[in-house]
Amino acid sequence: MALLAPSILAADLSNLSQQIKMAELGGADWIHCDVMDGHFVPNLTFGPIIIKAVRNSTKLPLDVHLMIENADYYIEDFVNAGANCITVHQEAVIHLNRTIIKIKELGAKAGVAINPSTPIEMLKDVAEIVDLILIMSVNPGFGGQSFIQNSLKKVRDTVLLRQNLNANFLIEIDGGIDNKTAVPSMNSGVDVFVAGSSIFKNNNISAACIELKNIINSADTK
Ligand code: DX5
Ligand code: ZN
């Protein structure tokens, strides 16, 4: 069963709790939270205090995507705020192995994200210790961008890497996921689908979740 992780980046933040409840009613599996620092990516969002507010709004696992430099300084704050999975960017972390171990020692699941221009080979030496690999299917920083088609090949390469290493990580995709792009993503081997605009910009958030979940679970031809 593939999982759906609605991204609150596209939500109405003045009604965050209610919007999360709508996603939950529609069968959301995780809540995806995009943290941006204005350095690694050209946009600013929020930090641990909003993660704490999200934590108080739902019991669903919080999937925290850190698009920030110096992630090591903040990991403990995000865990204390209620993050269940923390994903850092390969391009933004210098000692990736150390950071992954730190996340796990603090009791959270550890993920690593790669930008569209970063080959999956860059994660070969940490693939056996991560819980999740996030393939960015847009350049990180903004919601509402178009899906980059080359991401599908990268997902397939990641499935092969997992097989070759006999590793266990989940494969997550993030950026431009909607009812159309979800189908080839599913068929390429994605386990977790992040979707922002296609869910929270829809007039009926629950219905959008239900429809996307049906698609990602019926397109399965693996
Ligand atoms: C982009 C973020 C995404 C974003 C996706 O940098 O990582 O999680 O919310 O938004 P959509 O689904 O609108 O592309
Ligand atoms: Zn994200």
For residue 221, being part of any structural domain is answered with no
Q: Give the relative orientation of helices 16-25 and 48-55 as an angle to the nearest 10 degrees.
A: 50
Q: Is residue 95 part of a domain?
A: yes
Identified catalytic residue from 34, 37, 131, 191: 34
133 part of a folded domain:
yes
Mutation test of ligand 1: which of 54, 66, 194, 216 has the most ligand atoms closer than 8 Å to its C-beta?
194
Pairing of strands 31-36, 62-67: parallel
On whether residue 222 sits in a domain, the answer given is no
Mean local confidence (pLDDT), 47-76? 98
Q: Sheet holding 132-136: strands in order across?
A: 3-6, 192-195, 170-174, 132-136, 109-114, 85-89, 62-67, 31-36
- Model pLDDT, residue 219: 65
pLDDT score of 222: 46
Read off the pLDDT of each residue in 41-54 and give the average, rounded to a whole number.
98
Per the structure, the count of domains in the chain is 1
- Beta bridge partners, 3, equal 192
Q: Which of 36, 40, 66, 145 to mutate to test the pocket of ligand 1 (most atoms within 8 A of CB)?
A: 145
Give the CATH number, domain containing residue 100: 3.20.20.70
Q: Tens of pLDDT along 171-181?
A: 999 999 999 99
Q: What are the Cα distances from residue 29, in Å, to 24, 123, 176?
A: 8, 26, 19
Query: CB under 6 Å to ligand 1: residues?
Result: 7, 9-10, 32, 34, 65, 138, 140-141, 143-145, 174-177, 194-198
Q: What's the mean per-residue pLDDT of the chain?
A: 97
Q: CA angle 79-65-135, nearest 5°?
A: 140
Quick check: is 205 in a domain?
A: yes
Ligand (nearest to CA of 175): 1
- Of all ligands present, the nearest one to the C-alpha of 115 is 1
177 CA closest ligand 1 atom index: 12
Please write the tens of the pLDDT for every residue from 26-35: 999 999 999 9
Backbone angles phi, psi at 18, to 5 degrees: -65, -40
**Ligand 2 centroid – CA 125 distance (Å):** 23
What is the average pLDDT across 46-74?
98
Which residue has the least CA distance to atom 6 on ligand 1?
140
Closest by Cα among 9, 17, 27, 11 to 209 = 27
**Res. 220 pLDDT band, cuts 50 70 90:** low
Residue percentage of the chain with pLDDT more than 90: 98
The values of phi and psi at residue 8, to 5°, are: -75, -5
Predicted TM-score of the model (pTM)? 0.98
- What is the DSSP pairing of strand 62-67 with strand 85-89? parallel
Whole-angstrom Cα distance, residue 152 to residue 85? 23
174 a catalytic residue: yes
Active site residue 34: yes
Q: Is position 42 within any domain?
A: yes
Residues 89, 67: contact at Cβ < 8 Å? yes
| Residue 110 main-chain phi, psi, to 5 deg | -115, 130
212: pLDDT confidence band, cut at 50, 70 and 90?
very high
**Tens-digit pLDDT profile for residues 88-120:** 999 999 999 999 999 999 999 999 999 999 999
Nearest ligand 1 atom to alpha carbon 7: 9
Supply the pLDDT for residue 92: 98
Q: Is residue 10 part of a domain?
A: yes
CA distances from 195 to 2, 10, 39, 41, 202 (A): 13, 9, 23, 19, 11
> Which range marks the domain in which residue 22 is found?
3-216
73 falls within a domain: yes
Q: What is the pLDDT of residues 155-173, one digit of tens each?
A: 999 999 999 999 999 999 9
